[in-house]
Amino acid sequence: MAYSQAAWLIPVFPLAAFLVLTALGRSFRRSAPIIASIGTLGSLALSVLVMVEGVEYRDRINWIKIGDLSLSIGFDVNHLTSLMLVIVSIVSFLVCMYSAGYMRDDERLTVFYGYVSLFVFAMMGLVLADNMLMLYLFWELVGVCSFLLVGFWYHKPEAKAAAKKAFIVTRIGDAGLLLAVLLLFWYMPNHALDFVGIQNVFQGQSGAVDAQITTLIALLVFMGAIGKSGQFPLHVWLPDAMEGPTPISALIHAATMVAAGVFLIARTFVLFEASAVAMDTVAYIGAFTALFAASIALVQHDVKRILAYSTISQLGYMMMALGVGSLTGAIFHLMTHAFFKALLFLGAGSIIHATKTQDIRELGGLGGRMRLTALLFGVGALALSGIPPFAGFWSKDTILAAALDSNPALFAAGLLGALLTALYMARLFFRVFAGKPSAISEAAHESPAVMTIPMLALAVLALGAGFVETPWYDGLSQWLLGDEAPAHAADGYTVPIIGAAVALLGLYIGWLAYVKRTIRLSAALDAMPSARRLLENGYGLDALYTHLIVKPYRLLGSCVQLFDRYVVDGLVQLAAFGVSALGRGTARLQNGQVQTYGLAAVIGLLVLIVVLAGRRLWS
């Protein structure tokens, strides 16, 4: 109990690191990585202790109290949150260490580590939050840290645009999430917003909340997740976010923050279970995103953009898992993905660090120059492709099995996605590491140990983390669901064998296409350059949004501004002009000539007489 009671300290360590770094300022460059690493290491240590302890503990205090209504903040330690804490703190710590090498020459190193520490604080707060409102607070905070870090190289126009886009696009989802919070506040008994309360109200189908409202709330929560976790149609910010430093892509845009949407749905899973419509929506959007993004990843040339689309696709898998009711599958894949995708990004960082390019057309044959990076990147690629016994295989298998149980169409989509995944990873790996070294590759050297050691640690996890849940062992689902864990299918071989076969097929095709060059996959696309461009541009969604939303909004702004200037202010000017014209007119009457005054007096008298006489006659 002792450690769980102190779980609130987990976010406090990185917060303290952030404060210290901010107070110290730029002159303390050398100690910045150490301070930030100590902060995340503190979190890691305590998170592990809390998880090992494995108890549930909750505590909260009032944040705002108005009348008899109160909004509180608190923390909630349970099996799901403690597992998330460990995942987040492992990746955070390793990325802190890695960045000491990758970002060594950046003059704003202190600022970088400050932002990273702030992010880790916010992410831990998000995980530990015991209620929806507090989760929303930290949800926004991780968003702003992502914004700051994407735009870290603020002088680059691309980074500036990407940061702005990331913030605004995710905010569209956030607006939905906030609306869900408002709805919950007014529809829940006693205005409860805490997850335990939500669990109690929705679990028993008590009917305390109307079914339609439940569906609405669930869909709005999902809207938040769509924004944060890069699901179609709000995924467009994530590939652009690759403008940020590569360690950030690993930490925020692969392993932790983008998975927050999945975590959010897992946290409010009862809401979704209470609404079939919401579950189906999540499943189909997830499956669609998985395929859609994988197809784009096939034709990208930028290492990081390939990985970004891959992340979108894998998040789609997690959503699909949630949609078919497999909480375990989603969280399992979240965990393994965090490890192997962070590994892949750090590997990509190692490549970029050595070659100063991230275009795979300029690379090739790097395997001989950077053996360790190639080996570790290969482990990540195999894990992502779902090759046994790497971690990604087991988690993907859990999802596929669950999909087969509930909906064969989704199972088929999952298999197709797995094929595409193996294919684009084969393309990426072989184009970068195999073949004859290019001019750039010739000059490359292996990255320093401070960068390769974190990769090594992640590779171990990408290899081993899958064994917590296999068709024959249900450790993770027991941990997450306890006695409610669904029993595994009697036949534990069919799905894994199909899954492994599909992944191997993908790799084999990739090998034929990019190493042996016996088949040309791109022949069809080469014949249609416009189709290729469309695919390279992510089906042209960015252009579509520009023409459909951004430009019309600008036009609207200009129109409203004209309205404001010429109608609203115009009326004011007109009134002012009228008054002053009246003043000028009457001033002219006072011209000092007695005759004029006399004339006015006579006219006035006449008018009076006429009026009085008229009134008599009238009545």
Partner 1 sequence: MMIPDWPILSLIVFSPLAGAAVLLAMPKQRARLLRITAIIATLLPLALTLWLYADFDANRVGDSFEEYAAWVNIPLDQAGLGGGAASYGLHLDYRLGIDGLSLPLVLLATVITAMAALASVTIRKRWKAYYIWLLVLECGMLGVFLARDLFLFFIFFEITLIPMLFLIGIWGLFNREKAATRFLIYNGLGSAVMLIVFAIVVMTAGFSIGDTQGGGAVFSYSGSYETILANLSDPQAVVNQVAAGNVNPFYLSNGMETALFVLLLIAFGIKLPIFPFHSWMLSVHREAPAPVVMIHSGILLKMGAYGLIRFGFFLFPEQAERFAPTLAVLGLINLLYGAVIAYRQQELRSMLAYSSLSHMGIVLLGLASLHVIGMQGAVFQLVSHGLISALLFLLIGSFYERTGTSRIDELGGLAKAAPFMAGALLAGGLASLGLPGLSGFVGELLALLGLFDTHKVIVSIALLGIILTAAYVLRAIMGITFGELPAKYGSMKDARFIEALPIVVLLAFVLLLGIYPSFLTELMKHGFDPLLHHINMRVGG
Among 364, 508, 503, 519, residue whose Cα is nearest residue 441: 364
Minimum separation from the CB atom of position 466 to partner 1 (A): 36
Burial of residue 72, with CB atoms counted within 10 A of its CB: 0-12 exposed, 13-18 middle, 19 or more buried: middle
* The one among 3, 75, 119, 138 contacting partner 1 by CB under 8 A: 138
Query: Which string of b and e fits 157-194 if b means at least 16 CB within 10 Å?
Result: eebeebbebbbebbbbbbebbbbbbebbeebbeeebbb
Contact letters for partner 1, residues 508-547 (x by CB under 8 A): ----------------------------------------
Q: Which of 558, 598, 603, 606 binds partner 1 (CB under 8 A)?
A: 558
Q: Which of 10, 88, 123, 140 binds partner 1 (CB under 8 A)?
A: 140
Kindly identify the residues of this chain, within the stretch 573-592, that bind partner 1 according to CB under 8 A.
576
- Interacting span for partner 1 (CB under 8 A) from 42-50, 133-141, 414-422, 525-533: 133-141
Q: Which of 152-155's residues contact partners 24+ apart within 8 Å by CB, and which partners?
A: 152/108, 152/111, 152/112, 152/115, 152/244, 152/245, 152/248, 153/243, 153/245
- Kindly state whether residue 556 participates in binding partner 1, applying the rule CB under 8 A: yes
Least Cβ distance, residue 214 to partner 1 (angstroms): 16
DSSP annotation string for 140-151? HHHHHHHHHHHT
179 binds partner 1 (CB under 8 A): yes
Applying CB under 8 A, does 23 fall inside the site for partner 1? no
Q: Does 13 bind partner 1 (CB under 8 A)?
A: no
Choose one: 240-248, 504-512, 525-533, 557-565; the region binding partner 1 (CB under 8 A). 557-565
Instruction: Tell me how far apart the alpha carbons of residues 236 and 242 are, in angstroms, rounded to a whole number.
Output: 11
160 counts as binding partner 1 under rule CB under 8 A? yes
Q: Residue 397 — φ and ψ, nearest 5°? A: -60, -40
Contact between 67 and partner 1 by CB under 8 A: the answer reads yes
Q: Binding residue for partner 1 (CB under 8 A) from 371, 569, 583, 601?
A: 569
Task: Pick from 66, 490, 589, 617 the residue near partner 1 by CB under 8 A.
Answer: 66
Two tokens at 214? 């439940």
Query: SS in 3 state form for 304-341?
Result: HHHHHHHHHHHHHHHHHHHHCCCHHHHHHHHHHHHHHH
Whichever of 186 and 618 has its CB closer to partner 1, that residue is 186
* Rounded Cα gap, residues 249 and 342, in angstroms: 8
User: Quick one: CA torsion of 338, 232, 175, 180, rounded to 10 degrees?
Assistant: -80
Q: Which of 14, 101, 151, 386 binds partner 1 (CB under 8 A)?
A: 151
Do residues 40 and 93 make contact, with C-beta atoms less than 8 angstroms apart? yes
Nearest to 306 by CA among 263, 344, 356: 344
Structure tokens at 152: 């870290």
551 touches partner 1 by CB under 8 A? no
* Three-state DSSP state, 120: helix
3-class secondary-structure state, position 157: helix
- Binding partner 1 (rule: CB under 8 A), the pick from 76, 174, 194, 273 is 174
Q: Which stretch binds partner 1 (CB under 8 A): 359-367, 494-502, 504-512, 568-576?
A: 568-576
Q: Does 19 bind partner 1 (CB under 8 A)?
A: no
171 binds partner 1, rule: CB under 8 A: yes
Minimum CB separation of residue 564 from partner 1 in Å reads 6
Name 75's bridge partners.
59, 129
Q: Does 154 bind partner 1 (CB under 8 A)?
A: yes
**Cβ closer to partner 1: 178 or 312?**
178
Q: According to the binding rule CB under 8 A, does residue 602 interact with partner 1? A: no
Within positions 68 to 87, which residues make up the interface with partner 1, using CB under 8 A? Answer: 69
- Of 311-319, 345-353, 485-493, 561-569, the segment contacting partner 1 by CB under 8 A is 561-569
* Cβ distance to partner 1 smaller for residue 301 or 554: 554
Q: Give Rg (Cα) of the chain.
A: 31
Dist CA 389 CA 111 (whole Å): 40
Quick check: 445 binds partner 1 (CB under 8 A)? no
Residue 553 as a binder of partner 1 (CB under 8 A): the answer is: yes
Told to check if 469 binds partner 1 by CB under 8 A, we report: no
Cα–Cα distance list, 413 to 137, 217, 218, 289, 313 (Å):
35, 27, 24, 10, 12
How many residues does this entry show for the chain?
619
Report the distance separating Cα 131 and Cα 196, nearest Å. Answer: 8
Which region, judged by CB under 8 A, interacts with partner 1, from 8-16, 159-167, 364-372, 398-406? 159-167
Q: Given the rule CB under 8 A, which of 180-188, 337-345, 421-429, 520-528 is the region that contacts partner 1?
A: 180-188
Cβ-in-10-Å burial (0-12, 13-18, 19+) of 460 comes to middle
Distance from the Cα of residue 74 to its chain's centroid: 24
Cβ proximity to partner 1: between 19 and 509 the closer is 19
Using left for φ > 0, alpha for ψ between -120 and 50, and beta otherwise, residue 388 falls in beta
Token pair of 307 as six digits: 């990985």
Segment near partner 1 (CB under 8 A); pick from 174-182, 278-286, 348-356, 437-445 = 174-182
Residue 62 CB, nearest approach to partner 1 (Å) = 8
- Encoded one letter per residue, x for contact with partner 1 by CB under 8 A and - for no contact, window 298-337 reads ----------------------------------------
Instruction: Please count the residues of this chain forming the interface with partner 1, following the rule CB under 8 A.
Output: 46
Residue 563 Cβ vs partner 1, minimum distance, rounded to whole Å: 9
Footprint of partner 1 (CB under 8 A): 62-67, 69, 136-138, 140-141, 144, 151, 154-155, 157, 159-160, 163-164, 167-168, 171-172, 174-175, 178-179, 182-183, 185-186, 553-554, 556-558, 560-561, 564, 568-569, 571-572, 576
